[in-house]
Amino acid sequence: MFLPFTNYRLIHSTFKYYSQMATSSNNKILIPPISVRGMVKLEKEKFRKLVQFPSIKIPKKLVNRILGLSFYNNYRLECLPRLKTFRNSESDDFKRLLFDPDKLSEAKEEQKEEIIKQIEGQINSKVEFENFSYQMEYDDWNTKNCLKAILPEDIECSGFEQCGHIIHLNLRGKLLSYRFVIGQILLDKIPRARTVINKLDILTNDYRIMDVELLAGEADYATELMENGIRYKLDYSKVFWNSRLITVHEKTVAQFDSNSVVFDVFAGIGPFILPAVKTKNVIKAYANDLNPDAIDFLKKNAKLNKANRIEGFVLDGAKFIQKIIPEKIILHCKEWEKDEELDKSTKYTFHVVMNLPGYSAEHLPYFNDFLGKFEEIRPLFENNFCSILVHCHFFVKADDDLPLSWYDKEARRIICEKMGIEDLEIKELFFNRKVSGRKNMYCARICLPVEYICKTNEKINGSFLEKFVEDDEEIFQIKRKKIA
183 is in an annotated binding site: no
316 is in an annotated binding site: yes
Q: Determine the Cα angle at 29 with ends 24 and 30, to 5°.
A: 95
How many Å separate Cα 21 from the centre of its chain? 26
Residue 255 near residue 445 (C-beta atoms within 8 A):
yes
355 is in an annotated binding site: yes
Residue 451 near residue 366 (C-beta atoms within 8 A):
no
Question: Given strand 166-169, what is the order of strands in its sheet?
Answer: 160-163, 166-169, 195-199, 212-217
Q: Determine the Cα angle at 280 with ends 276 and 285, to 5°.
A: 35
462 is in an annotated binding site: no
* Contacts (Cβ under 8 Å, ≥6 apart) of 294: 207, 208, 238, 239, 240, 267, 268, 269
Number of C-beta neighbours around residue 55 at 10 A: 20
User: Which of 44, 259, 50, 231 is closest to 135 using CA atoms?
Assistant: 50
**How far apart are the C-alpha atoms of 475 and 313, rounded to whole Å?**
5
**How far apart are the C-alpha atoms of 213 and 168, rounded to whole Å?**
10
317 is in an annotated binding site: yes
Residue 401 near residue 438 (C-beta atoms within 8 A):
yes
**How far apart are the C-alpha atoms of 283 and 257, rounded to whole Å?**
9
What string of DSSP letters covers 111-141? HHHHHHHHHHHHHTS----EEEEEEE-GGGS
* Contacts (Cβ under 8 Å, ≥6 apart) of 68: none
What string of DSSP letters covers 320-352? IIIIIHHHHHHHHHHHHHH-TTS-TT--EEEEE
139 is in an annotated binding site: no
Q: Which residues pair with 51 in a beta bridge?
A: 134
DSSP state, residue 69: -
| Residues in the annotated binding site for S-adenosyl-L-methionine | 249, 289-290, 316-317, 355
| Residues in the annotated binding site | 249, 289-290, 316-317, 355
